[in-house]
Structure 1
Amino acid sequence: MSSSKKASASAIAFLPQGALPILPEEIIVLILSKLPAKSLVRFKCVSKFVCSLIVDHSFADLHRNWSLTLPSRIRILISLPTAMGHPCGGYHLYFTINYSEENQGMFYPNRLRYMNEDPKLYKKFYISSSVNGLICFCPYSLLKDSIVIHNLSTRQYISLPRSCRRVSRSESIRMQAFGLLGFDSISKRYKVLKSVLYYTKRPSRLRRWVKHYVFTLGVDESWRSWREIHSSSTYYPYTFYNNHFYSHTNVHIDGVIYFLNSYNKGEIVAFDVRSENFQAIPPPPPSTIPGLVGEGEQGHSGRSGLVEVDGRLAIVDLLNDHDHPGCYGIAIWILEESMVWKNQYLIITPIPLEKFDESSKRVLCVATNHVGEITLLVKHLVRQRSTISILFYNFRKKNWRKFDIRLPWYFQYAAMYFVLDNVF
């Protein structure tokens, strides 16, 4: 925080409650909107006026817009599953990285110990999606459907009520609950889409069915507030259980949640957060660039990445270097407003990439940051020690930049999220 902002924050914090009306309300709102979310949480106790202002959805929207203009308000969150032999074996470790467009070289991430030490999050849930700094956690358990929403800026979280009864271990039915977070820019409300897959344990009598529910944060409170959506039971996203790279098989863009359908490989499902309706989107035509990972009948399956490019849905595929020696790159399809896929184009990457094998370099995650850059999370194995490189491609400048991250443990998979400072 700059010295001027610190002075403004101190002035507000030490003003008597009766002195706040001396300042015009718009000035108070402007000052508070530029403060970090962690400071705003502390200022709730200054007065009833400040508290009511900070919890207002319009103020949260203003604060979020300011955060988008400040690089220091955006962090990279890395979710790292550990091996079973690790003291934290079988669960995820979480790290954050502060970065800017000028960053280069090696960075050492900050471990979020408070998340790892909290048994309600650490040993029971994993991340499914992230929107504007809010993170959606889904349960490891196959017996219940509880979901947790966590704010990384304020370190606060809420456990959403169940929508289904808990399944006992003696029953022959199991469930997989997967939540995806979305934001309605009209009502300024966050909603959770929960898809619950039920299935029988007995292979000889295997039966599956899916139910979908919606919960509005800040409005719905009890389990009765989950609204079941009567849609196709053949829509179900990729999860931690059926794809190690599930983290980039869904993306939220301007009030719409897109996810790859695990029931029908290649199909994309769009969920409109405001209308709460589904729409199936056919995949792009077969690749015209030979050697793309996932081309042919398996094209654009869980191996592809869904990202946002210029406010539109895009699919990113990686070029297989075995078919193109010395040529490494990504191919991108963009969905236009007419719901027609724009012809793919190839972007050459600065380092060799191999995907979905046991090589020393592999892409673990594909995403876009707040300024629309394509980002690749790449793993290197050097002397039996894992190092991560993050590659950024700027469409305007048409160039790549890269920085490395040293992690203390060996790992096979990792997920990456861009987290915005959010007071909500």
Structure 2
Amino acid sequence: MSFSKWASVDLLSQEIFVQILSKLPAKSLVRFKCVSEFFCYLIVDHSFADLHRNWSLTLPSSRMSILISLPICVEDGRLRWHYTINYSEENQGILHANRLRYIDDDGNLFQKVYISSSVDGLICFCTYSRLGDAIAIHNLSTRKHISLPSSIPSVGRDSGSRMTAFGLLGFDSVSRRYKVLKSVHYTNRSYNRHVLVKHWVFTLGVDKSWREIHSSPAFHPCTCFNNHFYFRTSVHIDGIIYSLNSLNKGEIVTFDVRVENFSVTPPPPPATIPGLVEGPAGVDSGRSGLVEVDGRLAIVDLISDNLRYGMAIWILEELAWKKQYLIFIPIPMQEIHDFNKMILFVATNHVGEIAVLVRRNICLSILFYNFRRQSWRKFEICKLPLGSSMYPKLYPAMYFILDNIFVL
């Protein structure tokens, strides 16, 4: 990394500055941009952002927060409120949520949108509208965002057609750039029939327009229009985006972010556990969750025997599925029989724990399962509006956000 414009700053001093600043949180670095031109150009430099990201990955406990997305019912339509939670292994019992009003009150960009994916603290927002392909990328650490250009004309309200645009984020470890895979599914409104799917790629900080991918399987990700978000239906692992295919139930489609091509991963066999039935009554018992476990793809099955509730987890190892874990969630037995009032969302954090977001009536909590210790920790979340304002057909979602100085 060289900054020849500032000849008065010797190379040794530059290296020391870079090493010191790369270890600071993004919020501090944003303020330091105002100190001098040198600091400003250093912090917005792409290679510095990559160095800062690498440090964040090695310090997950101090550079990780939790983003909670709550569906709220209002008079002019549905929207989501967003909260962040500072979390570390030292937390005990209670987590405090802080509302992101700068997102929720921005009617020009963020109202009536939902999060489609998140990678390293960058968030991809998609619109609830089925008339256009609006997608925006937001950096939660710097509070900066960009609206990506449209690649296709909007659909007219009276045209009889609808389209669902969905964006998935990925990171190319060779170019050290983030990319967005956009999939647009066209349907005929009159017959509610599949018509066409198209895919595009956009490289953040490089591309000015979308690049269409012409060779792809019949694939469209699960969205808020065809999935209730009990689990994450896509996950990014080491430059590969894995996504459940809404056009072929059970199929997992992979997208290599670097070479920009698709492939298909066959699903694992059904979970068969003696004495257990798959899925509690009243809940979709289909396989619906993709997560990362120790750097590998995992898929989650819901299981219940009317006395316990848990997850059977398949792990993908060397292109073969291996069921390695059967985990029972510590939910009181009396609540198992009233599961319709309970909502789960499952993800994994940056230290490899399974995190289960549990909503019971007006209470929200997070349970962490540590694979090595084979133990649970539970945290209640305070200051969330979980009463009648909750939108009944959508569910809370949870994302683990890494501190990131990447400039959009």
> Structure 1 length normalisation: TM-score?
0.86
Q: How does 1:2-401 map to 2 (within 5 A)?
A: 20-21=9-10, 24-68=13-57, 69-84=59-74, 90-203=78-191, 206-221=193-208, 225-232=209-216, 234-245=218-229, 248-289=232-273, 290-293=276-279, 300-301=286-287, 304-322=288-306, 325=307, 327-337=308-318, 339-352=319-332, 359-363=340-344, 365-381=345-361, 386-401=362-377
- Taking structure 1 as reference, are residues 357 and 248 closer, same or farther at Cα in structure 2, changes over 3 Å only? farther
CA pair 70-245 structure 1, distance change in 2 beyond 3 A? closer
Q: Kindly tell me: are residues 207 and 100 of structure 1, through their superposed partners in 2, closer, same or farther at Cα, counting changes over 3 Å?
A: closer
Counterpart CA distance in 2 for 1:316 and 1:207 is: 28
Quote the offset at 1:234 in angstroms: 1.7
**CA-CA distance at 1:263 after TM superposition:** 0.6
Contact 1:37 1:422 in 2 (8 A): yes
- In structure 2, the CA distance between the partners of 1:356 and 1:420, relative to structure 1 (3 Å rule), is farther
Percent of counterpart pairs with the same letter?
63
Q: Give the CA deviation at 1:19.
A: 6.4
Q: Would you say the 8 A contact 2:367–2:379 is kept in 1?
A: yes
For residues 207 and 77 of structure 1, do their structure 2 counterparts lie closer, same or farther at Cα, with a shift above 3 Å needed?
A: closer
Letter in 1 for 2:249: K
* Contact in 2 for aligned 1:284/1:341 (Cα 8 Å): yes
* Greater helix fraction, Structure 1 or Structure 2: 1
The letter of the residue matching 2:235 is: V
Gaps of 5+ in 2: 1-5
- Say whether the 8 Å CA contact 2:33–2:40 is kept in structure 1: yes
**CA gap 1:169/1:348 in 2 versus in 1, 3 angstroms:** closer
The answer to whether the 8 A contact 1:132-1:422 is kept is yes
CA contact (8 A) 1:82 1:91 kept: yes
- The letter for the 2-side match of 1:214 is V
- Offset at residue 118 of structure 1 (A): 0.4
Checking the alignment, whether the CA contact within 8 Å between 1:150 and 1:158 is kept in structure 2 is: yes
Q: Where does the alignment leave 5 or more consecutive residues of structure 1 unmatched?
A: 1-16
Question: Distance between the aligned counterparts of 1:362 and 1:265, measured in 2?
Answer: 22
How far did 1:321 drift?
Answer: 3.6
- Structure 1 window deviating more from structure 2 (186-195 vs 227-236): it is 227-236
The CA deviation at 1:18 is: 8.0
- After TM superposition, what 4+ stretches of structure 1 lie above 3 angstroms from structure 2? 17-23, 45-49, 298-301, 352-358
What's the secondary structure of 1:32's corresponding residue? Answer: helix
Say what the alpha-carbon RMSD is for the aligned residues.
2.4
3-state SS of 2:38 partner: helix
Q: Report the Cα offset of residue 207 of structure 1.
A: 4.6
Whole-Å separation in 2 of the counterparts to 1:311 and 1:70: 15
Distance 2:269 2:338 in 1: 25
Counterpart of 2:321, as a letter, is W
Assess if the C-alpha contact under 8 Å between 1:211 and 1:233 holds in 2: no
Q: Report how many aligned residue pairs link the two structures.
A: 389
Sort the Cα spacing of 1:287 and 1:230 in 2 relative to 1 into closer, same or farther, 3 A: same
Quote the offset at 1:84 in angstroms. 3.9
Q: Residues 309 and 331 of structure 2 are in contact (CA less than 8 Å); yes or no, is this contact kept in structure 1?
A: yes
Going by fraction, where is strand more abundant, 1 or 2? 2
- Name the amino acid aligned to 2:225: Y
The letter of the residue matching 1:71 is S
Paired AA for residue 177 in structure 1: A
Higher RCO (C-alpha 8 Å, min separation 6): 2
Aligned residue identity for 2:73: A
Partner of 1:13: none
The 3 A distance-change label for structure 1 pair 268 and 29 is: same
Secondary structure class of the residue paired with 2:182: strand
- Distance 1:173-1:397 versus aligned 2 partners, 3 A rule: same
Q: CA deviation at 1:41?
A: 2.2
